[in-house]
A and B are shown apart, each in its own frame.
Chain A
Amino acid sequence: MNVIAVQRWNFWGGVITALTLVWAILWAFPLYWGVISSLKPDDEVVRPYIELWPETPTLENYISALTTTQIGAWYVNSVAVAVGVTIITIFISMLCGYAISQLRFPGRIALWWLILASFMVPISALIINHFVLVANLGLINSWAGIMLPQLIHPVIIIVYKQFFDQVPKDFREAAVMDNASEFGILFKIYMPMNWGVTTALSIVCFIWTWNAFLWPFLSVTRTEMMTITVGITQVNDAFGVYYARQLSAAVLAGLPVALAYLFFQRRVTEAITLSAGIKG
């Protein structure tokens, strides 16, 4: 009796596993299809039937995308903006998280509430005034202009504060007794304890910034200053109806973040779960 129940359990378990697998493959299929199409020559791309593998694989679309558009410049812009935003954001958020967690100062509670409240602010509602601000500073069409409104990530401060909170108070007191400087305590004791978190947050911050669309789209009007996520959608004329070329540009734009995820899978998922307020 019991044996039969267990067997039935396993049978349905197997069916569910198989369905999950099929679903996963179908789910990722458009990604595969995009990559495969980018490797086909023009005449193969538009054939009226489905070919899951290119007959004559070619890199000509990539070469053409690299030579006929300013994709190189967009890459440089994206890397500069994403690296810049990541370094500044992680740095200022860590300092702020440390201060709120470990130091006593007037306005500490108010600041903490200010950070929590900023979760509610829909940044897309502020685009008009971000534009006015950046224009008044003369930063339209510049890396600094693309970066400026992207530097505040309340989530990162909150994660840092929670991690610093877990460090026993004795650590700081002992260091203060030893006459260590306040900055020494932060950089030599607390920061090394949190390298894991810092790496994970840096990777997701890089991915978020690389993927940002609305603000980089608004703050740049000159083609050569675009980030790659904006650039590949703004030059349809350059591609005409060459779908494969457009797709090869898309592959180039997605590659850095896809690789960052595949190499640091665990760290990325950990940081993203943390950023939603769940301790993984």
Chain B
Amino acid sequence: MLRNFRTERLVALVLVAPFLAIYLLTFVYPTVQMFRISFTDAPLIGTGRWVGLDNYLRLDNDPMFRRALWNTAYFVLMTVVPGTLIALLIALGVSRLKGRFQSIVLALFFLPYILPVSVVYLIWDWTLNFQFGIAMHVLDWLGIPRVPVFKSRLWFLPAVAGVTIWWTAGFSILLFLAGLRSIPAEIYEAAALDNSTRWTTFRRITWPLLWPITSLVFTIQLILQLKIFDQVYLFSIGGRPNDNMVLVYYVFQKAFQQNQGGRAAAVAVTLFVLVVVVSVLQFQLLRFAERRRR
């Protein structure tokens, strides 16, 4: 019996080892290093002098950092709440459909999510192209003057937010559909017998029963959009990236374009802490929802 127990431990060690090794190498070690170099003036590659909190204090009156922080918040605001609501509306529409028809309509909404960001970028860069984009023909037809969307400081982030909602809604729709399916049909039948209107049914049954999923979708979106980089980088090609600065872009610029590893790490730590705080809040929220459901 004792020998058996020892083999079990040994086997467990062998099974866990590959994961643990890669985890320590690509998760734990880089995280520790990020914190460490954020207190030095290291370049991207190489060592630096210890400068204490200097990198963090500099952030306080760094206008570009403020802009990055503000733009990220602005972007989160424009994507998370509207994105969640749009996905919910679509899911409500799709959930009414049946069988093959439903899977075709779902596929139309879901396809963008499956595509790489660079494909999404090329398609929308073309659709909204100032000279030849089909969206501009529509604007002409409506009598609205054309807008150079991705070259305009005013429209850049809202447009990228719109494209992002289009790109990522599929994921949220899927979660909402799973949530809608788990609501028992008898409840709706009972409501129909009571001659309950569509709106009352939604407000009294669907919305409260769907709340755990809504909060899940909301926080997943929140964490995802805090890390915005790809779309902002791509749509800024040939434009003015400094106007549209977001946090991850600032880390990228400081580290890879200005070779200031230490100062970039301080920005990265800020983002890291922000995401961890939001994640902890999400975890608490889910636990709260779980308890309320019992």
Contacts and interface: CB of A to CB of B under 8 A. Distances in A.
B205 interface: no
A182 B123 CA distance: 51
Interface residues of B, number: 93
Interface string B104-124: 011111111011111101111
Contacts of B7: 182
Nearest to A35: B123
Contacts of A23: 90, 93
B126 A34 contact: yes
Nearest to B29: A133
Interface centre among B117, B166, B216 (most CB of A within 10 A): B117
Contact of B26 (A5, A93, A130): A130
B81 interface: no
Contacts of B166: 27, 30
Interface stretch (A53-61, A193-201, A206-214): A206-214
A276 interface: yes
**Chain B binding surface SS class:** helix
A103 B11 contact: yes
A233 B229 contact: no
A228 B118 CA distance: 9
B237 A233 contact: yes
Contact of B132 (A213, A218, A243): A243
B144 interface: no
Contacts of A205: none
A182 B11 contact: yes
Interface string A217-246: 010000000001110110010000001001
A21 B34 contact: no
A169 interface: no
B45 interface: yes
Contact of A253 (B23, B119, B280): B119
Interface in A78-109: 91-93, 95-96, 98-100, 103-106, 108
A105 B96 contact: no
Contacts of B15: 95-96, 98-99, 103, 186
Contacts of A254: 115-116, 119
Interface string A96-137: 101110011110100100100011111011111111110100
Interface in B8-59: 8-9, 11-13, 15-16, 18-20, 22-23, 25-27, 29-31, 33-34, 37, 44-45
A99 B15 CA distance: 6
A250 B119 contact: yes
Interface in B178-194: 178-179, 192
A16 B9 CA distance: 59
Contacts of A246: 122, 126
A3 interface: no
A202 interface: no
Contact of B13 (A48, A50, A105): A105
24 contacts: A5-B195, A20-B90, A20-B93, A20-B96, A24-B109, A28-B112, A37-B126, A92-B18, A96-B16, A103-B9, A105-B9, A122-B226, A122-B227, A124-B271, A125-B251, A128-B251, A131-B44, A218-B256, A229-B116, A253-B119, A258-B111, A276-B171, A276-B220, A278-B216
